[in-house]
Chain A
Amino acid sequence: MTGEELFHLPLEDLHIAAGARFGGFAGWSMPLTYPAGVMKEHLHTREHAGLFDISHMKLIKVSGKDAAALLSRACPLDPDALEISQSKLTFFLNEAAGILDDLIVTRLGEQRFMVVANAGNAVADVAHLTALAEEFDAKVEPLDRVFLAIQGPEAWAVLSRAGIETGSLTFMHGVEPHPGWFMSRSGYTGEDGFEIGLPADDARKLAEKLLADDRLMWIGLAARDSLRLEAGLCLHGNDITPDTDPASASLMWAIPKDLRADGTFIGAEALRKIVADGPAEKRVGLKAEGRQPVRGGTVVIDEAGNPAGRVTSGGFGPSAGHPVAMGYVATLLAKPGTKLFADVRGNRIPVDVHTLPFTQHRYRKG
């Protein structure tokens, strides 16, 4: 991103006032940490509640008579099977079943859906969907919204004090509580929590109200990353990319069984072949012995020193209390407990294949 102009968050002044340290991410100038620091921010989110400005992510509204048909072409998803307000994790795949982006799709109405896309892929996602929409009677509408995530066991209580009742909303559901608002019970931390897209003026008022509550503090991108990594959630660009497919990424649970058999989404044929042949590698958790973090890009080897895989994300898990990582290893080595090694600057660090997540999800499933 060097030399390129970064986008600025609409609420940037609030982050500056809170003492944020900024850095570039996916073309945006983002708060990385606040004065509390990544460790405290991370633990505070797991114990109380954290407020994240995720306005770099994109909300895209898809509507019209063929909205469901368009999404069933674009994603390995059965939009008609979604109840109104139900959300689902899905993907845009390329013809080779490579993952162009991972998305959350929520059904807002009979013919209306909300797609939440990753910052780094937002422009490409909108172009992709818009191009596909030419063959359908459907409208693709990227929205300008501030997007806030409120995460943690006290998130609901903080929202309630701020006048937002969430009682009827369960995990992976989303609604439009006010004009221009989209609120879902979901997140990227493994905790109960909410994501709210709303106009900037409303967002400013909401953030100020929320921050008046001692149980809540701003959380930066650094803790967002350590939280999602402990929760075993993928970062597109690291853990899933156009070169990995849902089967290798251990994400087939997101694809309905009947679609695996006869879906006509882009990439369906290639994915069926990968599943039939068995993927050559699988995404797994990796737990290093000792305290030394094993980072993304590190090579994983077996006992004999043969290549066994690679780390795609790694760091230290403040709640886990030990280094946490995920990556891809050869399918035969993907069983939890398999002993492997990471080559960190010439040192062989023992790593065990570990089940994901490292910290248990605490979603409110109703």
Chain B
Amino acid sequence: MATTYFTEDHEWIRVENGIATVGITDYAQEQLGDLVFVELPEAGRQLKKGDAAVVVESVKAASDVYAPADGEITESNAALSSDPALVNSAATGDGWLWKMKLADEGQLSGLMDEAAYKKLVG
């Protein structure tokens, strides 16, 4: 059974068997506008909570997406290199950004659930 968490930086994290899939929320993609490039991280990269893991670039600006916890990247979403707009059309599905093996799942415990996040973005 997967658990989904949300951050104040408008990321979602779906955790299953110690592996977290990370993306940005629908609210975030709407704020950014049409994405034209996603700079994806290499598998094996070690992340500390708060590190910039991915850069998403819209027509107008580049924005960092941060690691929600410590861990190691196991995969990034290769489909985004040819079709970055997947993040716009399916932010919480096919537009996921990367997967990581969490060092300590407990680091996520303070994050919001979907109901709390929905309240945050109104």
A291 x B37 contact (CB < 8 A): yes
Contacts A/B (CB < 8 Å), 5 sampled: A38-B34, A38-B60, A293-B36, A323-B36, A345-B39
In the complex, A293 Cα to B39 Cα: how many Å? 11
| From B37, B55, B59, contact of A222 by CB (8 A) | B59
Is residue A318 within 8 Å, beta carbon to beta carbon, of the partner chain?
yes
List residues of chain A with CB within 8 A of the CB of B36. 291, 293, 316, 323
In the complex, A2 Cα to B102 Cα: how many Å? 38
- Looking at A42, A226, A316, A345, the one whose CB has the most chain B CB atoms below 10 A away is A316
B interface bracket (residues with beta carbon within 8 Å of A):
10 to 19
List residues of chain B with CB within 8 A of the CB of A226. 59-60
Is residue B41 within 8 Å, beta carbon to beta carbon, of the partner chain?
no
List residues of chain A with CB within 8 A of the CB of B57. 292-293, 316
Distance from B87 Cβ to chain A, minimum over Cβ atoms (Å): 13
Within 8 A of B (CB), among A305-347: 315-316, 318, 323, 345
B59 x A38 contact (CB < 8 A): yes
Within 8 A of A (CB), among B56-83: 57-62, 81
Q: Which residue of A lies closest to B55 (CB)?
A: A345
| Known contacts A222-B59, A222-B60, A225-B60; A38/B33 CB under 8 A | yes
In the complex, A345 Cα to B52 Cα: how many Å? 12
Is residue A132 within 8 Å, beta carbon to beta carbon, of the partner chain?
no
A222 x B33 contact (CB < 8 A): yes
Is residue A295 within 8 Å, beta carbon to beta carbon, of the partner chain?
yes
Within 8 A of B (CB), among A263-313: 291-293, 295
List residues of chain B with CB within 8 A of the CB of A293. 36-37, 57, 62
In the complex, A47 Cα to B48 Cα: how many Å? 47
In the complex, A291 Cα to B60 Cα: how many Å? 14
In the complex, A318 Cα to B62 Cα: how many Å? 16
A37 x B60 contact (CB < 8 A): no
Is residue A162 within 8 Å, beta carbon to beta carbon, of the partner chain?
no
| From A33, A223, A291, contact of B84 by CB (8 A) | A291
Known: A226-B59, A316-B36. 19 other contacts (CB 8 A): A37-B33, A38-B33, A38-B60, A42-B59, A222-B33, A222-B59, A226-B60, A291-B36, A291-B84, A292-B37, A292-B39, A293-B37, A295-B62, A315-B59, A316-B57, A316-B59, A318-B34, A345-B39, A345-B55
A220-264 toward B: CB 8 Å interface, digit per residue (1/0)?
A: 001101100000000000000000000000000000000000000
List residues of chain A with CB within 8 A of the CB of B60. 38, 222, 225-226, 315
Is residue A89 within 8 Å, beta carbon to beta carbon, of the partner chain?
no
List residues of chain B with CB within 8 A of the CB of A291. 36-37, 81, 84
Is residue A6 within 8 Å, beta carbon to beta carbon, of the partner chain?
no
B37 x A316 contact (CB < 8 A): yes
A37 x B39 contact (CB < 8 A): no
In the complex, A39 Cα to B59 Cα: how many Å? 8
Q: Which residue of A lies closest to B62 (CB)?
A: A295
A33 x B37 contact (CB < 8 A): no
Q: Which residue of A lies closest to B84 (CB)?
A: A291
B81-97 toward A: CB 8 Å interface, digit per residue (1/0)?
A: 10010000000000000
| Known contacts A37-B33, A37-B34, A222-B33; A318/B39 CB under 8 A | no
In the complex, A295 Cα to B36 Cα: how many Å? 13
List residues of chain B with CB within 8 A of the CB of A33. 33
A318 x B59 contact (CB < 8 A): yes
List residues of chain A with CB within 8 A of the CB of B55. 345
Closest 6 CB pairs of A and B: A316-B36, A39-B34, A38-B59, A292-B37, A316-B59, A291-B37
List residues of chain A with CB within 8 A of the CB of B33. 33, 37-39, 222
Distance from B95 Cβ to chain A, minimum over Cβ atoms (Å): 15
In the complex, A315 Cα to B59 Cα: how many Å? 6
| Known contacts A33-B33, A222-B33; A38/B39 CB under 8 A | no
Distance from A194 Cβ to chain B, minimum over Cβ atoms (Å): 25
- Looking at B33, B60, B61, the one whose CB has the most chain A CB atoms below 10 A away is B60
Distance from A299 Cβ to chain B, minimum over Cβ atoms (Å): 15
Distance from A25 Cβ to chain B, minimum over Cβ atoms (Å): 12
List residues of chain B with CB within 8 A of the CB of A318. 34, 59
Distance from B63 Cβ to chain A, minimum over Cβ atoms (Å): 12
Distance from B40 Cβ to chain A, minimum over Cβ atoms (Å): 11
B13-44 toward A: CB 8 Å interface, digit per residue (1/0)?
A: 00000000000000000000110110100000
